[in-house]
Amino acid sequence: MLERFLIQNQLTLWLMRRTPAAGVRRVIHLAAAVASETGNVRTENQDKAVIVRGKDTKGNEYTLAIVSDGIGGMHDGAGCAATAIGAFV
C-alpha cells in the first residue's frame, strides 16, 4: 500500500514540473495526439494529460489516455489536475 502512494506522489510531482508554453514531446511510438491551449485570457495552462501503456494480469496490452482539466484561474488548478491523474493511475 505504501508503494502505491509513493508512485502516486512521484507521478503527481512529475506532472507538476515546469513545462514550456509550446512544444511537442514524443516519448513512445503511439498513434495518438494530445493538445491543450492556454487561450486568450489565461497566462498559465493548468490542464494535464497522460498516456499510459501497459499489460494486464493476463498479458493483454492496453493504452489508457487520461485528461484532467485544471479549471483555469482556480487556485492551484494545475496541482489539482496533477493530483487527480496521479491518484487515478
The H or E element that residue 64 is part of is: strand 61-68
On average, the pLDDT of the chain sits at 77
Handedness of CA 70, 72, 75, 76 (dihedral sign): positive
Rg, C-alpha atoms of the chain: 14
Residue ranges in the chain modelled with pLDDT below 70: 1-4, 19-35, 72-73
pTM: 0.60
